[in-house]
Amino acid sequence: MTFSIVARSDDGEAWGVAVASKFLAVGSVVPAAVAQVGALATQAHANVAYKGLALSHLDDGATAEIALQRLLEEDDGRDHRQVGIVDVDGGAATHTGSACIDWAGGATGSGFAVQGNCLAGPEVVESMRRAWDDGAATPFAQRLLAALAAGDESGGDKRGRQSAALLVVRDGAGYDGGDDIEVDLRVDDHEAPITELARLLELNHLYLVASTDDEKVPVDGALRAELEAFAREQGQPDFHTWVGTANHEMRVDDGLTWIDERVLAIVRSGSSAS
């Protein structure tokens, strides 16, 4: 009833899960990941206890294969489970129980595991695997999402569409560096959940990811005056207050020595939002 990809980035710094299903709020059930430990997806007749157990096994040094073996050995419902795991080194393992709804199966490769059940056919998994292989030059979160979209385009869950989720972890990537969550997005009930997830990923990048040096525009006196005038037009006392109101703190320097090029484009469009 669900298809997913679990993977480690090629640079060995991030782990993530992308998942979609004809099921309400699939992101609340399937994915789990911890930076420098690994990631997994538990689905079909999902055993949500797998999330804590698998991450504990991985944290103790188990490979994906060993962690999977331990999960299945301890679970009398293993024939109804489907799970994919990627470990800290990019080792991958997948399991499809014999009682999972047809078509059901999975595939693994270097740094990833793809799996699905109640699918239109094996082409769903194959399309996801191929999209992952072809996306090596794509940023990690977008690469996961592209693999998910490829599975959807090949038929996905044969019952239809309802929800999708994307989870990516990387050391220090969380809001203001406070945790490891780089992306944690969920579309719980939508007629086109993967399309909506792609839109949210764009907003996530704008609002929650720090600007790169290439994206920073230096602020001189003339630009500062322009920014302050814009803020007053928006009903704010100064530009710093507008930044906080618009949630662009990650994209504008506290001292206003630089502004992200995308925020500057928003300002010059005369809009108060993206």
Residue type, 59: D
* Least confident residue range of 78-87, 113-122, 177-186, 265-274: 265-274
How many Cα atoms within 13 Å fall on the side-chain side of residue 239? 21
- pLDDT, residue 274, reads 46
Tokens for 159? 């019952």
Tens-digit pLDDT profile for residues 77-89 = 999 999 999 999 9
Tokens for 8? 């480690």
Burial class (CB in 10 A: 0-12, 13-18, 19+), 29: buried
Quick one: average pLDDT of 244-273?
A: 91
- pLDDT, residue 45, reads 97
Answer for the pair 55, 64: CB distance below 8 angstroms, yes or no.
Answer: no
Q: Residue 175 — pLDDT band, cuts 50, 70, 90?
A: confident
Q: What is the pTM of this model?
A: 0.91
Q: Among residues of the chain, what percentage have pLDDT more than 90?
A: 93
Q: Hey, what domains does the chain have and what are their CATH numbers?
A: 2-208 (3.60.20.10), 214-269 (no CATH)
- pLDDT, residue 210, reads 84
Bridging pattern class, strands 31-34 and 38-44: antiparallel
pLDDT at 176 over 80: no
C-alpha to C-alpha distance for 127 and 148, rounded to whole angstroms: 9
- pLDDT, residue 178, reads 87
Give the DSSP letter of residue 211: P
